[in-house]
């Protein structure tokens, strides 16, 4: 039986495993790798803090998560692949209330990010940084 996500160490395992899979993914990996080339460690640290804040209510994340994603060349199918990898990683590593919340939060974020990306594209605008 898998345990639930309980602490920052669990978050780090989730984030490292997930982004390791993203980097190797033929469909979304090139997008992430080109954007984060040479900056993966910095990005992972930011993601630890983001998920720690969201799931454990330990407020370590400071930032605006949407603007870095606003200009990415992504469509709905990219978000579907991102969710498939994320949910599969969560399910493989953890189970429980917080693990379920992680998947729910990822679903909501993907929908919101896609909606905002489409809005800014259609309006020909860039979001405020």
In a domain, residue 107? The reply is yes
Which residues, 6+ apart, have CB-to-CB distance to 103 below 8 Å?
86, 87, 90, 91
First CA to last CA distance, the chain: 43
Q: What is the pLDDT of residues 32-43, one digit of tens each?
A: 999 999 999 999
Number of domains in the chain: 1
Q: What is the pLDDT of residues 37-61, one digit of tens each?
A: 999 999 999 999 999 999 999 999 9
Instruction: Please report, for the domain that includes residue 116, its CATH number.
Output: 1.10.490.10
Full domain range(s) for residue 32: 6-121
Of 112, 119, 117, 108, the residue nearest 86 (C-alpha): 108
In a domain, residue 18? The reply is yes
pTM of this structure: 0.91
In a domain, residue 129? The reply is no
In a domain, residue 1? The reply is no
31 or 126, which is more confident: 31
In the predicted structure, residue 128 carries a pLDDT above the cut 60: no
Q: What is the pLDDT of residues 71-101, one digit of tens each?
A: 788 999 999 999 999 999 999 999 999 999 9
120, 27 Cβ separation under 8 angstroms = no
In a domain, residue 128? The reply is no
């Amino acid at each position: 039986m898998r345990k639930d996500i309980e602490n920052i160490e669990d978050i780090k395992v989730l984030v490292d495993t997930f982004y390791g899979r993203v980097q190797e993914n033929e469909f979304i990996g090139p997008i992430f790798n080109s954007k984060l080339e040479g900056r993966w460690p910095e990005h992972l640290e930011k993601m630890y803090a983001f998920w720690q804040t969201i799931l454990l209510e330990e407020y370590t994340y400071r930032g605006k998560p949407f603007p870095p994603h606003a200009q990415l060349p992504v469509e709905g199918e990219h978000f579907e692949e991102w969710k498939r990898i994320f949910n599969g990683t969560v399910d493989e590593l953890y189970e429980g209330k917080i693990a379920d919340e992680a998947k729910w939060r990822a679903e909501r974020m993907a929908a919101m990010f896609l909606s905002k990306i489409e809005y800014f594209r259609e309006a020909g605008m860039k979001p405020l940084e």
